[in-house]
């Protein structure tokens, strides 16, 4: 008989969160029981956004403590990885830091004969990071684009020190990469000098140790580094990335974070997502460092 006691293991760096070793996945989205005996442990797989890995991990940990008959596995790899898994049916839910494309939704419909359902789960201000030692305080979107297009290469051209800019960014399967390319670079290609890293935490750590560095990522990763204030245009006010400016849209690169399912969530997936958008789940959002959904 399966013990009702959960054994929790957390591995962060492609995070895997599991409960009750030895349990098998009973059905997609956590359904089914093991014959006439006690119900099998309900399981749920979630794949996708590295930006959301810490958040997904914390949600899973907290939910499983409140629901000991559940087991939730959370892995990263990028929004594109999660969406690809949703298309081929190898995950119940896909975390994404960007909206799914129409083409991707059509692929789900073609392969799985069901429509994609989108759930907004948190709000994020896409932050632009520099090291604490960098004297620069703000930048406008045009300057930011020119930096990542390789058209501005020295901090002195932005009012900083006479020092070459070191560029850090995300891999192209990242939703954050896609969002930045679309909303900052107007879909132009990143400069070849950008050092692409697997995960926002890696970008933040690189910037933390490099006074000449600049990076971008979710606001929850700002510990030990400093997010710049961003101006929509040269003459617009510089806006700090924070809850109020993300909610009212004055921070120019704020965004929602999403969870996608193939069809309406059922079973454990339905219960989990209902909890995520509840006050309890949104408190976790705040605790991790993102912003809760507007009421």
Same domain for 273 and 164: no
Same domain for 198 and 151: yes
d(CA 9, CA 6): 10
Concatenating the DSSP letter of every residue in 113-141 gives SS-EEEEEEEEEE-EEEE-TT----EEEH
d(CA 195, CA 167): 6
Cβ–Cβ contacts within 10 Å for residue 205, how many? 17
Q: In this predicted model, what pLDDT tens digit does every residue of 170-215 receive, in sequence order?
A: 999 999 999 999 999 999 999 999 999 988 999 999 999 999 999 9
**Composition of the chain by helix, strand, coil, percent to 5:** 35, 25, 40
Same domain for 99 and 165: no
d(CA 176, CA 50): 9
Same domain for 268 and 177: no
Domain membership of residue 92 (yes or no) is: yes
pLDDT of 4 > 80? The answer is: no
Domain membership of residue 3 (yes or no) is: no
Q: In this predicted model, what pLDDT tens digit does every residue of 151-168 receive, in sequence order?
A: 999 999 999 999 999 999
Domain membership of residue 110 (yes or no) is: yes
Rg of the Cα atoms in the chain:
20
The rounded mean pLDDT for the chain is 88
d(CA 259, CA 167): 29
In this prediction, what percent of the chain has a pLDDT beyond 90?
83
Domain membership of residue 85 (yes or no) is: yes
| Beta carbons within 8 Å of 274's beta carbon, 6+ residues apart | none
Mean pLDDT for the stretch of residues 36-44: 72
Residue 189 structural domain: 127-252
Structure token digits, residue 16: 């895997």
Same domain for 24 and 56: yes
pLDDT of 36 > 90? The answer is: no
256 contacts 122 by C-beta, under 8 angstroms: yes
Mean pLDDT for the stretch of residues 19-39: 41
d(CA 189, CA 145): 10
pLDDT of residue 107: 98
pLDDT of residue 40: 74
pLDDT of residue 39: 57
Same domain for 185 and 172: yes
Domain membership of residue 4 (yes or no) is: no
Domain membership of residue 2 (yes or no) is: no
Same domain for 119 and 74: yes
CATH number for the domain spanning 133: value is 3.40.190.10
Per the structure, how many domains does the chain have? 2
19 contacts 71 by C-beta, under 8 angstroms: yes
pLDDT of residue 295: 81
pLDDT of residue 161: 92
Same domain for 181 and 242: yes
d(CA 163, CA 169): 19
Same domain for 284 and 216: no
Same domain for 228 and 155: yes
Domain membership of residue 1 (yes or no) is: no
Q: In this predicted model, what pLDDT tens digit does every residue of 272-292 receive, in sequence order?
A: 999 999 999 999 999 999 999
pLDDT of residue 137: 96
Same domain for 185 and 165: yes
Domain membership of residue 169 (yes or no) is: yes
At residue 270, φ and ψ (nearest 5 deg) are: -65, -45
**pTM of the full predicted structure?**
0.83
Same domain for 131 and 243: yes
Q: Report which secondary-structure segment, H or E, holds 109.
A: helix 102-112
């Amino acid at each position: 008989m399966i013990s009702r006691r959960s054994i929790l293991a957390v591995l962060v760096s492609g995070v895997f969160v599991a409960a009750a070793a030895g349990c098998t996945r009973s059905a997609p989205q956590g359904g089914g029981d093991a014959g006439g005996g006690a119900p099998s442990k309900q399981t749920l797989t979630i794949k996708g956004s590295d930006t959301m890995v810490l958040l997904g991990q914390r949600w899973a940990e907290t939910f499983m403590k409140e629901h000991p008959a559940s087991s939730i596995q959370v892995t990263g790899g990028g929004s594109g990885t999660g969406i690809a898994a949703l298309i081929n049916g190898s995950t119940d839910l896909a975390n994404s830091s960007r909206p799914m494309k129409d083409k991707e939704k059509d692929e789900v419909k073609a392969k799985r004969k069901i429509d994609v359902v989108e759930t907004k789960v948190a709000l994020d201000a896409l932050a632009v990071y520099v090291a604490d030692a960098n004297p620069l305080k703000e930048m406008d979107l045009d300057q930011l684009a020119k930096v990542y297009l390789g058209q501005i290469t020295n901090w002195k051209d932005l009012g900083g020190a006479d020092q070459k800019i070191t560029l850090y960014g995300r891999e192209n399967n990242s939703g954050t990469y896609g969002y930045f390319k679309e909303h900052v670079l107007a879909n132009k290609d990143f400069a070849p000098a950008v050092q692409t890293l697997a995960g926002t935490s890696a970008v933040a750590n690189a910037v933390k140790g490099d006074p000449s560095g600049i990076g971008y990522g979710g606001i929850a990763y700002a510990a030990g580094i400093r997010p710049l204030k961003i101006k929509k245009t040269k003459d617009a006010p510089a806006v700090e990335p924070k809850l109020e400016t993300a909610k009212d849209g004055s921070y120019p690169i704020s965004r929602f974070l999403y969870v996608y399912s193939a069809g309406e969530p059922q079973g454990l997936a339905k219960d989990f997502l209902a909890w995520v958008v509840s006050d309890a789940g949104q408190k976790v959002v705040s605790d991790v460092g993102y912003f809760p959904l507007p009421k």
